[in-house]
Structure 1
Amino acid sequence: MSAHVIADDAEALAVAAELAEEFRAGAAARDAERRLPREEVRRLSASGLLAVTVPAEHGGADVRQETLAEIFRLLASADASLAQIPQSHFVYVNVIRRQGTEQQRRFFFAELLAGRRFGNAQSEAGTQHVQDIRTRLEPQADGSYLMTGVKHYSTGALFADWIPVLARAGDGALHVAYVPRDAPGLTVVDDWDGMGQRTTASGTVRLDGVPVPADRVLPHHLTFQGPQLHGATAQLLHAAIDTGIAAGALAEAVAFVRTKSRPWFESLAEGHASAADDPLLIHRFGELALLVRAAEALLREAARAVDGAAAHLTDETAAEASLAVAAAKVQAAQAAVEVADALFEVSGTRSALHSLNLHRHWRDARTHTLHDPVRWKIQHLGRFVLHGTRPPRHGLL
C-alpha cells in the first residue's frame, strides 16, 4: 500500500475539502442501501489524511488539533458515517505518540505514512460500565501474550489494517494491543444495525486466544497518571463530527427551501413569492444559523485550547482544554439534533419522503450524540465554575 504524504496544515485542509465534496454526492445512497464505503475509506488512506498527525521527526505533517477538527467537521458535513470511521484511528495514533517506545513509534508511524489504517476494539457489552474492560492479556513463557475477549461498537475495525484493542493484563492495568486485522483468532463481525451512522460498520470483534507479541502492547494506564489530553483530543473529534452534521443538515434545508418548497398560502398572499422569502422561515433559519455558528466557534476555541495545552502541558492547561472541549461537545450535540430535526419543520411535508432520505441527518445526529452523555460534561463545567474542581483524568472528557 502507498499513500500521498501531506506536507502541512494548509494542504491537509485542501485535501479534506476536496474529498468532502467528492463523498457528499453518494452519501444519501450509501446510507439508504447501507453500502459500506470501502472505496471512500481507501481514498482517505491514499490521500494521506490518515497520517497527518504523524510527528514531523518521523516524516509527517504533525498538524494542529484545530486543523484535525476542521478535517472531521468537513467530512461529517458530507457524510457523518464516513467521518466517524477514522475517529478511533487518530485516538490510537495519540497513544503511540505518548506511550510508544522509539522502536514502536518508528514502526507504526511508517505504517501510517504508507496508508495503513487503525480500527478500534474497546467497548464491551454486558459489563458494569463503559470502563469495565474484561478482555485479558495472558502472558506466555516467551514474553508474548494471548488475548481473549469480545468487543462491541468497534467502529473502523472492518476497514482496518491494525486493530488497537483495550485489554487488561494480569495485574489489572489497562493496555492497548495493536493486532493485525488478519491475526489468527480475531474475527470482525459486521452486525451493526443502528438507526443512524449506518455505514460505520460498528460491529463486533471477537478475540479467541489471539497471539500478541510483547512489542505490540502499550501501557495505556500510564496515560492517566499525569496531565493528559487523551480524552480531550478524542472528544474534540466527536464534537467536530456533530458540528459537521449540524452544518450539513442546515445546508440541506437551505437547498430544499430554495429549490423545492412551495410558499405557504398566507405568506404568498402577503406578497412573498417563494418559500425562501417567508419572513417566518427567514427568522427560523437565522436561529438555526446561530446554533451552527456557536458550535463552530466553540469547536475552534476548544481545538486551540488543546493545541495550547499540548505546547505547555500542566494540570491547569489540561483541565482548561478538557472543559473547552466539553463545552464544544455539548453545543455541537444540541445543534446537530435540533438543526437536523428542524430541517423538516422548515422544508415541509415533502421533505419527509423516504425516497429523499433527508432523515439520515437526524438519525446520524441522534445516534452519534449518544456516544457519551453531555449531561456529565455540563456537570463538570458546573463543578469547575462553582468550586474550581478540575475534571477527572479519563478518556471521555
Structure 2
Amino acid sequence: MTSVTAHVIADDAEALAVAAGLAEAFRTEAPVRDAERRLPYAELEQLSASGLLGVTVPADHGGADVRQETLAEVFRLLASADASLAQIPQNHFVYVNVLRRQGTTEQRKFFFGEVLAGRRFGNAQSEAGTRHVQDIRTLLLPLPDGSHELTGVKHYSTGALFADWIPVLARAADDNLYVAYVPRDADGLTVVDDWDGMGQRTTASGTVRLDAVTVPADRVVPHHLTFRGPQLHGAVAQLLHAAIDAGIAGGALAEAAEFVRTKSRPWFESGVDTAAEDPLLIQRFGELDLQVRATEALLGVAARAVDAARDELTDASAAEASLAVAAAKAHTTATAVLVADALFEVSGTRAALDSLNLHRYWRDARTHTLHDPARWKIQHLGRHVLNGTRPPRHGLL
C-alpha cells in the first residue's frame, strides 16, 4: 500500500504548477527508465505525495474538483516528460469518475478519502481472445452472504502492479457490467508483470488473474447504469488519452529542437555555420510546430466542451463533448506519430544511436495510439456532420 502522506491540492492553478514541477523532475531519468525498463515505484510515490491523484475529488469531499481542461493539461505536461508515467494514472482518474457517477454516498465517502490520501487505482478492464473489446467475460457472481466472487483473466492492466485498489470490470449474472474495487493484496488476485510492449515500457500493463476473489457488496458499482442516459465516461477517458499523445508530440518536438541546436551539423550545401540556421530545417520545424499547436488547440477545445457538458449535462452537450474529444483524439494520434518520426528526419544520423534512446518517443506514440482506432473517431464525426447522427454511448468515445 502507498505509505506517503499526500498533500491536498487547493485549486486548478496549484494543480498545474505541481504537474509542471513533477514533469521536470521526471524528465531527467526518463530515457534510462525506458531503456532499462526500470519500473517507476519512486516516481509514483512522488505522484501520490504531490496530491495530483486527488484533484478531481468533488469539493464537498475535500478535493479541488479541477476542470477537465486542467486535468488534460496535467496529463499533457507529464507525457511530454515520460509517456509511461503519464499513462499509469489515466485509469485512476477514469475510475474515480465512475465512483462520482455511480457510487453510493458511502462508497464516495470512503474511496474519495482513499484518493485524497494518495491511494492509487489501477485497472483490470481489457481481456484477450474475446470477440471484441467490449466482450467482457470476467464473472461477478453472488455468494450466499451477500458478497460477490470474481473470476477471470485481464490483460493490458496498466497500473495494476503499482495500485492500492484495482477496479475490475466484470459481467454479473444479469449480464450487466459492474466495477468491483478490489484491494491489490486480496486473496486470489495475482498481478503478473508480463508486459513486453515496444513502447510505454514501464507502465507494467500486464496480466491480472482473479481466482474466486471475494468482494464485499459495498465495493461493487453498477457501471452499466452510466450508459442509460447522457454521459461523459468515454469523453473523459479519451480526453486523457489525447492529452498523452499531445504530450508525446510536444516532448518530441522540444527534444528535436534541442538536438539540432546542440548536436547536429549543418548540411554542407546549406552555406550556414550551424544546423539551426539551415533554412530547410527552419521550414520543417515551423511545419511541425504548426501541427503541435493545432493538436494542442483541439485538445483545449475538447476539454472545454467536456467541462461545459459537466456543467449542464444533456444528450446534446454530451454528444458535442464526445465529438470534440473524437476530433482531438484523431488529430493527436496523427501528430504524435508524425512528430516522433520527424525527430529523426531533422536530427540526422546520430539521432538513431540506440544509446541516446530518442526512439522512445516514436515507440511510445506508436504503442499508445493503438489503444483504439482513430478511424472510428473520424467515422462518427462524418456521420454527425453529414446526417446529424449523435455518437453512440459507450466508453471509447
Q: State the TM-score, normalized to the length of structure 1.
A: 0.99
Which residue is equivalent to 1:40?
Answer: 43
Partner in structure 2 of residue 99 of structure 1: 102
Alignment of 1:117-132 (within 5 A): 117-132=120-135
Is the counterpart of residue 166 in structure 1 residue 169 in structure 2? Answer: yes
Aligned residue runs from structure 1 range 119-268, under 5 A: 119-268=122-271
User: Could you tell me how far 1:230 is from its partner in structure 2?
Assistant: 0.2
CA distance in 2, matches of 1:137, 1:329: 33
Q: 1:254-313: per-residue Cα shift (whole Å, max 9, x none)?
A: 000000000000002xxx111011110000001100110001000000000000000000
Q: Distance in 2 between matches of 1:16 and 1:29?
A: 21
Partner of 1:78: 81
Distance 1:16 1:312 in 2: 28
Output one character per residue of 1:164-205: Cα deviation in whole Å (capped at 9) or x when no partner.
000011011000000000000000000000000000000000
User: Deviation of residue 153 (structure 1)?
Assistant: 0.1
1:336 maps onto 2:336 in alignment: yes
What is the DSSP-based 3-state SS (H/G/I as helix, E as strand, rest coil) of the residue aligned with 2:309? helix
Partner of 1:325: 325
* Superposed CA offset, 1:129-174 (max 9, x none): 0000000011001110110000000001000000000001101100
Residue 83 of structure 1 and its aligned partner are, at CA, apart by 0.1
Cα distance in 1, alignment partners of residues 361 and 97 from structure 2: 30
> How far, CA to CA, are the matches of 2:153 and 2:354 in structure 1?
36
**SS at the partner of 2:214?**
strand
1:291 aligns with 2:294: no
The one-letter code matched in structure 1 to 2:358 is L
Q: Deviations over 1:348-377 (max 9, x none)?
A: 000000000000000000000000000000
Mapped pair 1:389 → 2:389: yes
2-structure distance, mates of 1:153, 1:294: 30
Aligned 1:25-36 pairs, distance under 5 A: 25-36=28-39
* Structure 2 Cα separation of the partners of residues 43 and 232 of structure 1: 28
1:92 alignment partner AA: Y
Which amino acid is the alignment partner of residue 61 of structure 1? A
CA distance in 2, matches of 1:67, 1:282: 32
Residue of structure 1 equivalent to 2:378: 378
Runs of 4+ in structure 1 off by over 2 angstroms are none
RMSD over aligned CA atoms reads 0.4
In 2, the alpha carbon distance for the partners of 1:283 and 1:366 equals 25
User: Structure 2: how far apart are the matches of 1:79 and 1:365?
Assistant: 11
Q: Structure 1 residue 51: deviation in Å?
A: 0.3
Partners in 2 of 1:365 and 1:345 — Cα distance?
A: 16
Q: Distance in 2 between matches of 1:263 and 1:230?
A: 49
Deviation of the 1:63 alpha carbon? 0.2
Instruction: State whether structure 2 residue 371 is matched by structure 1 residue 368.
Output: no
Matches within 5 A, 1:340-351: 340-351=340-351
Question: What secondary structure sits across from 2:153 in the alignment?
Answer: strand
Amino acid at match of 1:384: H
Structure 1: tracts of 5 or more residues without a match: none
Q: Percent identical across equivalent pairs?
A: 81
Distance 1:359 1:312 in 2: 43
Determine the C-alpha separation between the residues in 2 that align with 1:152 and 1:290. Answer: 37
Match of 1:51 in 2: 54
| Aligned residue among 22, 25, 48 for 1:22 | 25
SS of 2:201's partner is: coil
TM-score by length of 2: 0.99
Amino acid at match of 2:60: E
Counterparts of 2:323 and 2:294, CA distance in 1: 16
Cα separation, 2, equivalents of 1:280 and 1:157: 46
**Unaligned stretches of 5+ residues in structure 2:** none
1:280 and 2:277 are equivalent in the alignment: no
Structure 2 partner of 1:311:
311
SS, match of residue 191 in structure 2 = strand
CA separation in 2, counterparts of 1:16 and 1:244?
13
Query: Which amino acid is 1:107 matched to?
Result: F
Query: 1:100-126 deviations in whole A, cap 9, x for unaligned?
Result: 000000000000111100000000000
